[in-house]
Amino acid sequence: LAKTTQPISMDSYEGQEVNITCSHNNIATNDYITWYQQFPSQGPRFIIQGYKTKVTNEVASLFIPADRKSSTLSLPRVSLSDTAVYYCLVGDPRNTGGFKTIFGAGTRLFVKA
Amino acid sequence: GAVVSQHPSWVICKSGTSVKIECRSLDFQATTMFWYRQFPKQSLMLMATSNEGSKATYEQGVEKDKFLINHASLTLSTLTVTSAHPEDSSFYICSAPPGRLITDTQYFGPGTRLTVL
């Protein structure tokens, strides 16, 4: 599984757009990029997943450059409730007969009023 | 979306006792489930892969005799912390993939807070 590197923490203010970048230099051809959000004392929650270019859903966008060695999670107009830890994961869901997920350190996002 | 539940949500036990944590997939079948442990301010650490009808696969450094995993049905996996000690106090989380499509992702349970006195 490809190793990922994210900033340890980020601060933002309500209403701002937040971009969290994740480096995954050793990403393999079949690997997908997945982002999870975790609030204290809760299990992680899926945010978005992509393979290349741009993916957008109702909560976030994921930008992946052509070389796929990094990706950027974009959260539009954050609110206080977006304060959480965000994890970037890279892996091939078809491996190991199940979707073994190895978490990196994550990025602690703190949104201020 | 797919739902994974855990029971109990929190448990306090005395040192030396055993504690069982259940992980259920409520609206899908899961031949594979994963168990994680998370200490305060740290990331999730994968402990083991639970396989329905066969033995669990443990990650390096995780004692299989300490953390017993049973995946007896397609909707239930259990983690038993045997002879628990204070250092086993942690947040335990399970997850399961709802399908086998390449775009399927894992769904995580709400976690179980274990405190060993």
The Cβ of residue B29 has, within 10 Å, a number of other Cβ atoms equal to 12
Pairwise CB contact (< 8 Å): A44 & B105: no
Residue B103 has its nearest CB partner, among A42, A49, A106, at A49
Residue-by-residue pLDDT tens, chain A, 113 positions: 568 999 999 999 999 999 999 999 999 888 889 999 999 999 999 999 999 999 999 999 999 999 999 999 999 999 999 999 999 998 876 665 445 677 888 999 999 99
From chain B, the residues in CB contact with A100 under 8 A are: 34, 46, 49
Higher pLDDT, A63 or B30: A63
A7 Cβ under 8 Å from any chain B Cβ: no
In chain B, what are the helix, strand and coil shares in percent, each to the nearest 5?
Answer: 5, 50, 50
From chain A, the residues in CB contact with B102 under 8 A are: 32, 93-94
- The string of DSSP codes covering A14-30 is TT--EEEEEE-TT--TT
- Preceding omega of A7 cis (within 30 degrees of 0): no
pLDDT at A97: 47
CA B80, CA A79: separation in Å to the nearest integer? 39
Neighbouring residues of A64: CB distance < 8 A, sequence distance ≥ 6: A33, A50, A51, A52, A53, A54, A55, A70, A71, A72
pLDDT at B105: 74
Give backbone dihedrals phi and psi of B31, rounded to 5 degrees, phi first: -75, -20
Neighbouring residues of B99: CB distance < 8 A, sequence distance ≥ 6: B28
A40 Cβ under 8 Å from any chain B Cβ: no
Q: pLDDT band at residue B36, thresholds of 50, 70 and 90?
A: very high
Average pLDDT over residues B4-16: 97
pLDDT at A102: 77
Closest CA to A31 of A9, A64, A54, A57: A64
Tens-digit pLDDT profile for residues B52-83:
888 999 999 999 999 999 998 999 999 999 99
Q: pLDDT band at residue B27, thresholds of 50, 70 and 90?
A: confident
